Amino acid sequence: MNDDKAMTLDELEPGGQGLPGSDPDTVRAASDLEAVFDIPVSVSAVLGKARLQVSQLLRIGRGAVVELDRKVGEAIDIYVNNRLVARGEVVVVEDRLGVTMTEIIKGDRR
């Protein structure tokens, strides 16, 4: 697919026919992807990382603070199936934490 023909999430819904006025190639591409819509993937949002010795880990108790390698307000990493795909920010939706993507990571495929 060309970069100038980006698809929206509405166009990628199972059985979706695209948005009004969308070109036939986009509709065909969405229907071609229909087979993968039900495949589960693992999504992880990593707030930060820390390295500890086993002895330090064993001394950690309830209420202990583990310092991470990120600063407050710094973007978090978003992984899909252990592959970095985006960076984002933590948000609160009602009483739950969520993540909003602010940057998509375009990397070479391995």
Residues 53 and 28 in one domain: no
Residues 62 and 101 in one domain: yes
pLDDT at site 26: 62
Residues 110 and 60 in one domain: yes
Residues 56 and 91 in one domain: yes
Residues 48 and 35 in one domain: no
CA gap 30, 26 in Å, rounded:
6
The two structure tokens encoding residue 49: 């990382």
Interacting residues of 16 by C-beta distance below 8 A, sequence separation 6+? 10, 27, 30, 31
Q: What is the pLDDT of residues 54-75, one digit of tens each?
A: 999 999 999 999 999 999 889 9
Q: How many CB atoms lie within 10 A of CB 26?
A: 20
**Structural domain span for residue 12:** 1-39
Residues 53 and 19 in one domain: no
Higher pLDDT, 104 or 36: 104
